[in-house]
Chain A
Amino acid sequence: MRLIKLITLMPLALGLVLPGVAAAQGWIKYVNEEDQFIVNFPGEPELLEVDYITESSAIIPSRIHSVENGNSRFAITVVDYTMAEEAHVARCRRLEVETGRVSPNQCSGNGHFRDIDGSVAFEAANIRRRSSGEITYDAFGRVDGVPGHQLQILHPDESRSFIGIYRLDRRLYVLEGTVSGDSPPPGLFQQSLGMLDEMGRRVRYQSDAEGNYSRIQARYEYIGEEDPVTGEPISDFSTGNVGRFIDPSERTGTWLPEASTQVFELRTYTTEDGKLPNLLTLFRDHATQLFEKHGMTHVGYWVPQDSPESENTLIYVVSHDSREAAQESWGAFRADPEWQRVAEESQADGPIVANIASVFIEATDFSPGQ
């Protein structure tokens, strides 16, 4: 049960929003080391801090990270049971003040452990209780070997919710993805959770033949930058057992989108004297079409305004999916029989290009279009 007592609504603008393949399609990876999770989100989440009332009526903090996207809503609530013991003491004091006496059954020993152990079942019951729809799936589930519970709900308006509830140590993670009846079910969100330890390492358990679970290293334990094609880590940090230490204050709320491999290429052609018109004709009538044919994307073509460059210089920018793609495109372009023919014809009266300069460039973080 949630009690919205303290509301702090603030965009998580602490990190960078970077362009990338996944971001372009509307989904990005999001890691929050303070709340120790990584998840796929369809946009920038907002943070809502709320009080959470446990099964035994203790009040502990929770934080809701959520994205509203049209008729869809995706939220992960992280309930912090590390405060459970302290909250139980506070609850007992409150009872003492309110009733003048305290029940030994309610306040003795380590009663807060009951809340922690039952946290998944309690939250699942809360969701069932508040649901006005048909619960179409209601069963145990695991993520990275961490036990939990999954619920799927068909609402009266035909929207659907896919829910996952998992507890790792003293943190409860509640994922709720709700989409309209026209949309694909929100499994992409529900099934994307990763839980992190205090060191920022992804936590994963695996059972042996006897069903005993122990923590193992996962290939995707690493939460740093990945190659967007292979999914392999591409920074200096490895997937080694020691994992990666990250200062929580440094990276909280940082986006980790799939890195884009797109590159831009700035090319500057200097022509022989008087041959700029020939070069422009060659590009206008042939080269630009062949660039497209071989996978390059036009950005722009320019000639300088001032002399002497205005008489002998063509500058253009094309983009490629990657440096490797650029190499392949240029290779295919140069080998294209049509290009070989028109290039030869253009030089019937002698070479038209004196020099070609190529520079691969990438946008800065303050460049428009980021």
Chain B
Amino acid sequence: MKKLNFSRTLQLFLWFGVSALVPLKSLGHHSHANYLEGEWLNIEGTVSEIHWMNPHSWIYLDVVNSAGESKAWAIEGASITTLRRDGWTQESIQVGDELTMRCHPLKDGSRGCLLGYITLDDGSEKEFD
């Protein structure tokens, strides 16, 4: 999956609410108390950096907000080991890719989010946690 084909128009869709979906499985390394695990945030953006690291992978995403400003977000994912097990590879996501994802926002409103799911080309969601 070299490129994820999404809308070229980057928009931030915020819709907070108690989700009926199953909560994310535990990452194990650290507690997620600083994230709103009962709420979901849908965002779209362009990958500026991808950190394929342990104990967690991180995607830095440039997201255009409702005011038309591009802001950098830090998106936390699982460890390399877990991602690999789930079928992700180092080549799955590249800098410049446009991504749509669903994640748990930080409680303090800063631009961080805990994955969550990434939407694939066919519209389905794949766990990145």
Contact = CB atoms under 8 A, between A and B. Distances in A.
Interface of A: 21-22, 25-27, 29, 40, 136-137, 139-144, 150, 152, 154, 160, 182-188, 191-192, 194, 218-220, 226, 228-232, 258
A139 B31 CA distance: 11
Contact of A219 (B31, B76, B81, B108): B81
A258 B34 contact: no
B29 A191 contact: yes
B109 interface: yes
B60 interface: yes
A332 B73 CA distance: 37
Q: Is the interface of B mostly helix, strand, loop or mixed?
A: loop
A231 B89 CA distance: 11
Contacts of A185: 74, 106, 110-112
Contacts of B72: 182-184
Contacts of B29: 143-144, 191, 220
B33 interface: yes
A220 B31 contact: no
Contact of B53 (A160, A194, A258): A258
A150 B109 CA distance: 15
A144 B72 CA distance: 28
Contacts of B31: 140-143
Interface stretch (B11-19, B44-52, B121-129): B44-52
B7 interface: no
Interface centre among A25, A182, A231, by most chain B C-beta atoms within 10 angstroms, is A231
Contacts of A29: 53-54
Nearest to A139: B33
Interface residues of B, number: 33
B51 A231 contact: no
Contacts of A219: 79, 81
B41 interface: no
B30 interface: yes
A137 B54 contact: no
Given A21-B90, A27-B53, A184-B112, A191 B30 contact: yes
A303 B107 CA distance: 62
B40 interface: no
A257 B84 CA distance: 19
Interface centre among B55, B60, B74, by most chain A C-beta atoms within 10 angstroms, is B55
B117 interface: no
Nearest to B107: A137
A355 B55 CA distance: 47
B30 A142 contact: yes
B3 interface: no
Interface string B58-84: 101000000000001110100111001
